Amino acid sequence: MNEPKNSSILFHEHAIKEVVAKIGLQITTDYKGRSLVVLGVLKGSFVFLADLIRHIDLDIETEFIQLASYDGAKSSGKVTLNAPLKTDLRNHHVIIVEDIIDTGTTLDYLLAMLKGKGPASVRVCAFLSKPSVHKNRYTIDYQGFEIANEFVVGYGLDYRGRYRNCRHVYQIKV
């Protein structure tokens, strides 16, 4: 099997499946009867988002935005917008779907940007979160797992573009 070198499994695919189904069910309950846009942040969220939306049993819209802030295995501190959002979010409820909240630089940028688009509400869904690294206090409304300040890959998360296709989440030494 395709496994990263110098790595150990942090979350097995079975545990991931379970947590994703649980989040999907919670979102289904919370957004019944509302107009929901699920907004994935590319590229890291695409695997999580693909699984998650199939556990949301509602008539939703799915959109993407592409942002980048990481340089190899560390945060560059600034955010680049590679593909902007063209959809009108006015009167729509939005859930931002992120692979991981690390420093929160990307999330700060996105929350500020969405404010200007007049959505009915904005919530945050993150597969992973590193609370010890957050630079502000964030409310993560839907969260898979909390992790320590370590570098992880797999299930959409990459190191220099690689390992996004790994089924488990691995901790790697870089």
Residues annotated catalytic, as ranges: 102
Closest CA to 155 of 147, 133, 132: 147
CA geometry: angle 85, 90, 95, nearest 5 deg: 65
Q: What secondary structure letter does DSSP report for 119?
A: B
Token pair belonging to 22: 């649980």
Closest separation between CB of residue 136 and Mg ion, Å? 18
Q: Is 125 in the site for ligand IMP (CB under 6 A)?
A: no
For ligand IMP, which residue of 10, 31, 103, 110 counts as binding (CB under 6 A)? Answer: 103
Residues between 27 and 66 that touch Mg ion (CB under 5 A): 44
Tell me if 128 sits within 8 A of 112, measured CB to CB: no
Residues between 71 and 90 that touch ligand IMP (CB under 6 A): 75
Token pair belonging to 108: 């700060």
CA distance 13 to 139: 26
β-bridge mates for residue 61, sequence order: 37
Nearer CB in complex with ligand IMP: 35/167: 167
CA distance 79 to 38: 21
Q: Is 70 in the site for ligand IMP (CB under 6 A)?
A: yes
Nearer CB in complex with ligand IMP: 4/31: 4
For ligand IMP, which residue of 4, 24, 40, 44 counts as binding (CB under 6 A)? Answer: 44
- Binding-site ranges for Mg ion (CB under 5 A): 44
Q: Site residues (CB under 6 A) for ligand IMP?
A: 44, 69-70, 75, 98-107, 151-153, 157-158
